[in-house]
Structures are given as C-alpha cells and as structure tokens.
Amino acid sequence: MIIKKNMHWKQVLVLFVLGFMNCSLLAGTKIAILAFELKDMTLAPRIPAEIKRTASIKPLLEAELGKAGYTIIDIDIESQKYADAGVGYLFDHDDVAANLARQFGADYVLVGRLHKPSFLFSYLMGHLIRVSDAKLIGNYVSEAKGPNIKLTIKTVESLTVKIDKTLDNRYSPPPASKKRAR
C-alpha cells in the first residue's frame, strides 16, 4: 500500500514538473526594447516633430513584435537613464545594455537609434543583444525616406522583419497598401 502511494506521488510530481516546463516554453522569447535615441545631424536638430517621431518608434516596435508572439519586457525610462552614461552609451556598450535587461528578466534587448543625417531621409538602427552572454547578435539598419508617420510605421515593420529573422522567424508584416486608382 505504501509503495502504491509513493508511486502515485512520483507520477504527480513528474506531471507537475513536465507541466511547469511546458508553461515555460509557452512563455515565448522575452525581449526588452529600450527607448530610441535621436541622433540628428541636420542644420536644425531636435525639432519637436523629430523628437515625437523618435518617441513613437518603441511602442510601434513593441506592438509589431507582440503581434508575432514575443513577450515584451518593459524597462522603465528611469532605469534606462540610470544605466546610460550619455548619448550613444547603451548603443555602444552591449554589456551594459545586457546587464540592464537581465535585471528585468529579458532574454534579448534591442537598443535603438534614429540616425538623421539629412532632411530627406533617416535610418532606424538597432542592436539586438543576447542577455545571457551580452553578445551582439543583430546589427540592423532600415532606411526611412521622409518624416511622416506612415513611412515610420513601414520602417518599423522592416526592422521587425529583420529582428524576427534573427530570433524565431514567425512575424508576418501587414500587406502593402494598394494605391487607389484615379
């Protein structure tokens, strides 16, 4: 009788452990996206429209990666500022960005920049860092021609495709909108 009770508890324990492992696998890849910084090299740098556009990139990217099933890890702006030693510091120091993301339980962290060398175009740049070993596993650049929100959204979608290709390859960008016939 005692042997049967012990066997029963062992089976329950095995099922519990297997269920827990399965739930961990379903949690998905956890990625933190830091607030993008603006590197504006034009003759009229940091105009309000560019600051607003730069601020819109993180939530747009989080939404796109979320649609693909990634778990988005939020790192508050105060923690990011505390880890940042100046403009471009986190972008250039993978180890510091990884240490920050590790504190929040992320598997990966994306450090981004909107690089604007001209009024005509800009580049959405991103460094994807694996938190476990602080290794840069993706260095992405997507070009945006013009400042309007529709182009920014398309550039974020392009960046999402690149990130997803490095990670789990499950993102399907929205279809291109069809032009109206006149």
DSSP letters of 50-66?
Answer: HHHHHHHHHHHHHHHHH
Stated pTM of the model = 0.81
Cα separation, 139 vs 136, in Å, equals: 7
Instruction: Quick: pLDDT tens for 22-37.
Output: 444 456 899 999 999 9
Cα separation, 158 vs 95, in Å, equals: 26
Query: What are the E-state strand segments in 69-172?
Result: 71-73, 108-116, 121-130, 135-145
Q: 156: which residues sit within 8 A by CB, 6+ positions away? A: 57, 60, 61, 64, 124, 142
Instruction: Quick: pLDDT tens for 74-128.
Output: 999 999 999 998 889 999 999 999 999 999 999 999 999 999 999 899 999 999 9
Average pLDDT rounded to a whole number, residues 58-65: 98
Cα separation, 134 vs 102, in Å, equals: 10
Q: Which domains are present in the chain? A: 29-166 (3.40.50.10610)
Instruction: Quick: pLDDT tens for 131-162.
Output: 999 999 999 999 998 878 889 999 999 999 99
Nearest to 155 by CA among 44, 73, 36, 47: 36
DSSP 8-state code for residue 143: E
Nearest to 119 by CA among 148, 139, 141, 91: 148
Q: How many Cβ atoms are within 10 Å of 101's Cβ, its own excluded?
A: 28
Cα separation, 83 vs 90, in Å, equals: 8
